[in-house]
Amino acid sequence: MAVGRLRGYLSGVRFQGVFFAMAAKVEIYTSPFCGYCARAKRLLSSKGVSFAEYDVLADPSLRPTMEARANGGTTVPQIFIDGKHVGGCDELHALDAAGRLDPLLA
Ligand SMILES: N[C@@H](CCC(=O)N[C@@H](CS)C(=O)NCC(=O)O)C(=O)O
């Protein structure tokens, strides 16, 4: 969830307030030339979801962290929503097919 402050003038009237933008934090461990990674990212992007991407090929030191967070999962992608391990590309699509992905991303 993002929190911010809004201040401005609208038709000469000053307004200010706090806004809360409910957006899940999505993280995805990837490597280049990985079709599953591309497919998972395409699904997220098609929903307008932005995500943090960690390229384990570019930075192999990320791998142990990925594997620990993914309960030993060694393949890419490994996807996390609000810190919760979702799985890989197949699991992401299965969640979506079951109608359970959008609520997690809201
Ligand atoms: N079922 C997995 C398949 C992922 C997969 O096989 N990824 C490949 C790269 S495209 C991989 O990490 N291969 C290395 C390995 O199997 O250790 C998913 O849906 O994410």
> What is the token pair recorded at 13?
């009237």
The whole-number pLDDT of residue 83 equals 97
Measured from the Cα of 31, ligand 1's closest atom is 9
Can you tell me the distance from the alpha carbon of 41 to that of 51, in angstroms, rounded to the nearest whole number?
Answer: 9
**How remote is the CA of residue 15 from the centroid of ligand 1, in Å?**
50
Can you tell me the distance from the alpha carbon of 104 to that of 60, in angstroms, rounded to the nearest whole number?
Answer: 29
- Rounded to 5 degrees, φ, ψ at 53 are -110, 130
Confidence at 19, pLDDT banded by 50, 70, 90? low
The whole-number pLDDT of residue 1 equals 55
Which amino acid would we find at residue 16?
Q
**Side-chain-side CA neighbours of residue 27 (13 Å):** 14
**How remote is the CA of residue 19 from the centroid of ligand 1, in Å?**
39
Task: Give the pLDDT confidence of 49-105 residue by residue, as tens digits.
Answer: 999 999 999 999 999 999 999 999 999 999 999 999 999 999 999 999 999 999 999
Pocket of ligand 1 (CB under 6 A): 34-36, 74-77, 88-90
- Give yes or no for a contact between 63 and 56, defined as CB atoms under 8 angstroms apart: yes
Domain architecture of the chain: domains with CATH: 24-105 (3.40.30.10)
Q: Please give the residue that has the higher pLDDT: either 106 or 22.
A: 106
The whole-number pLDDT of residue 15 equals 77
pTM, two decimal places: 0.84
